[in-house]
Structure 1
Amino acid sequence: MRQTPDSLDNAGNADDAVAAAPTGTQTLTRGLAVLQAVAGGARDLKDIAQLLGTTRSTTHRLANCLVQERFLRFTPSIGYALGPKLIELGFQARDEVSLSVVARPYLERLAEQSGDTIHLALQDADDVLYLDKIPGKKGLEMRSRVGHRMPIATTGVGKALMLGMSEDEWKNLYQKRSSATSVDTSRLLPKRSWAEFREQMREYAKGGYAFDLEDNEPSIRCVAAPIYDASHAIVAAISVSSTLPYMPLERMQSLIAVVQAAAAGISGELGAHQAPARK
């Protein structure tokens, strides 16, 4: 067995070490706790043992096993750190996650809470591509549909997808807002000037949300929020949409936290466990 530079204390004997070794579910739980401790910044056996409430010898056995299986690595100058096996499993887990499947329970809950139309979308070139939609209960059906594309800079979900971009990228997409594919641009409303759009986006970026104030479809308003992955990159967005009579600005403001909470839940499913820094 490959040993780390830390050695077991010589005070105890081998029989004591075996007797003290946790077994079964307890071993698994403690092993996972070691990973959590190292992920949280613990770098040596003393720190890990204090966090777990285990003896040095038990902590060493757990850590050494995790090093052998490549869940942890040990370097003399650094101590313990997360290992390459976790990176491999992380990428595999990410590839196996279906965004639509993961997001659906959150979308359904949001639809039940609001009674409005719910969208899930991602960026595709200069467009928004709708992945899922739950129609609202308030009469008017919107023209959006699953698989539909719209200019990213004219929709609430599109603006939410743009929140992590630079202002140069904002401007580029703003200028392309009428050239997106598969959409009847003749129906789009007159747009704000670039200066107005930029100020609006700055406000949205600070708050971590975005509005559609009839930018994309007459009398339709929406509140949107971005979805993040484990690297805190924006990978999708969700929105709550309804007609003007049901979406006064006061209600839109009250929905921000609700939509953000749903987006945060989906983000957590994708590995984003901390809120990303805002501009």
Structure 2
Amino acid sequence: MVPAVKDSPDTPPIAAIGRVSALLDAFDGGNRLTLAQIARRTGLPRSSTHRMLDQLVRLQWLLRSGHEYELGTKLIELGHRAVHQNRVYRAAAPFLWDLHRATGMVVHLAILDGADVVYLEKVGGRMGLSIPTQVGSRQPAHCTGVGKAILAYRPLGRLEDLEEAELTRKTNYSITDSAELRVALSEIRTRGVAFDREECAPGFGCVAAPVGPIDEPVAAVSVCGPVDRLPFDNRLAAPVRITALQIWRNLDDAAVGRSGPRQRARQRTVGTNAADHLPTCHKPAR
């Protein structure tokens, strides 16, 4: 049995879990941190921070090198399990490599979490190394193709919640005005795909499509690459939309299979009528 992370005798278990969560969240930049840096980022007392760090090192949730700490092997294992147990990932996995091979571009699968997107998968070979995304990382949803693809089909109330927060600027092309964002999302609903033209990372763009019901998408899939090599037209929109529809059908069929045969009307999905008739992808010129 894994020993609990110790705190003071008077600390309720939920409070202790909250402290550990805050401590782990401090490692958000990919760099090692010292005790002083962790205490400053979390606002926790230095003595209790040091005590929790020692416990987490023993549990292999953290690694210590000299006076610095970094995320440990146990978290790598848990993160890997979490992704591969995710039902959206399992439904999408058979189709992501096909989309990469058909387009020659980096493929992302992402879900919405609050105002951010979290990447569940990234397929891309050498080109993928130059795009600053990784499995498990976050980006502001309004700055990404996958994020905008999901936001465009979410209920209006969800968008209003997002607009109450400040829209982060990632590049000079990021949308930071709520009115401009609404116009962009309306255009996405009209054409069925979202474009990111250097809004998240300079020099790169994406073409993305939502996965799921038209009023409540569960994820989005995209192809990304150098913006000067991306045709922002049907050459990429078609295969991305078809892949999104394949993922949703696979996910939907798996859900039906788990619950047994039942009478139901298939929910209308983004691209249901159009994607079946879209032309085959042609690999973009290099």
TM range (shorter): 0.5 to 0.7
Partner of 2:188: 204
Please give the alpha-carbon distance, in whole angstroms, between the structure 1 residues aligned to 2:165 and 2:103: 32
State whether structure 2 residue 261 is matched by structure 1 residue 268.
Answer: no
> What is the deviation of 1:247?
1.1
Please give the alpha-carbon distance, in whole angstroms, between the structure 1 residues aligned to 2:144 and 2:203: 13
> What is the deviation of 1:139?
7.4
> What is the deviation of 1:269?
0.9
> What is the deviation of 1:188?
3.0
> What is the deviation of 1:207?
2.2
The 5-angstrom pairing of residues 50-89 of structure 1 reads: none
- Aligned with residue 245 of structure 1, among 228, 232, 246: 228
Amino acid at match of 1:219: G
Amino acid at match of 1:109: D
Q: Secondary structure at the match of 1:217?
A: coil
Please give the alpha-carbon distance, in whole angstroms, between the structure 1 residues aligned to 2:210 and 2:270: 13
State whether structure 2 residue 131 is matched by structure 1 residue 142.
Answer: yes
Partner of 1:234: 217
> What is the deviation of 1:190?
4.6
Q: Does the CA contact (< 8 Å) of 2:196 and 2:206 recur in 1?
A: yes
The RMSD of aligned alpha carbons is 2.7
Partner of 1:110: 99
Please give the alpha-carbon distance, in whole angstroms, between the structure 1 residues aligned to 2:156 and 2:88: 28
Stretch deviating more after TM superposition (202-211 or 97-106): 97-106
Q: Does the CA contact (< 8 Å) of 1:119 and 1:239 recur in 2?
A: yes
Which segments of 5 or more consecutive residues in structure 2 lack a partner in the other structure?
Answer: 1-84, 254-265, 272-286
> What is the deviation of 1:205?
1.0
Q: Does the CA contact (< 8 Å) of 1:154 and 1:177 recur in 2?
A: no
Amino acid at match of 1:226: P
Q: Does the CA contact (< 8 Å) of 1:209 and 1:256 recur in 2?
A: yes
Structure showing greater Rg = 1
Q: Does the CA contact (< 8 Å) of 1:115 and 1:136 recur in 2?
A: no
How many residues of Structure 1 are paired with residues of Structure 2 in the alignment? 174
> What is the deviation of 1:141?
1.5
Q: Does the CA contact (< 8 Å) of 1:157 and 1:224 recur in 2?
A: yes
* TM-aligned CA distance change 1:177 to 1:141, over 3 Å: farther
Question: How many percent identity over aligned positions?
Answer: 32
- Normalised by the length of structure 2, the TM-score is 0.54
> What is the deviation of 1:244?
1.5
* TM-aligned CA distance change 1:277 to 1:191, over 3 Å: closer
* TM-aligned CA distance change 1:247 to 1:125, over 3 Å: same
Q: Does the CA contact (< 8 Å) of 2:142 and 2:167 recur in 1?
A: no
Please give the alpha-carbon distance, in whole angstroms, between the structure 2 residues aligned to 1:153 and 1:194: 10
> What is the deviation of 1:245?
2.1
1:205-255 per-position Cα deviation (integer Å, ceiling 9, x unaligned): 1222111111111111100011116x9631011000001121143xx4421
State whether structure 2 residue 114 is matched by structure 1 residue 125.
Answer: yes
Q: Does the CA contact (< 8 Å) of 1:140 and 1:243 recur in 2?
A: no
* TM-aligned CA distance change 1:102 to 1:177, over 3 Å: farther
Please give the alpha-carbon distance, in whole angstroms, between the structure 2 residues aligned to 1:158 and 1:177: 16
Partner of 1:216: 200
1:148-179 per-position Cα deviation (integer Å, ceiling 9, x unaligned): 00101110000111122245543542564645
Q: Does the CA contact (< 8 Å) of 1:123 and 1:236 recur in 2?
A: yes
Amino acid at match of 2:112: Q
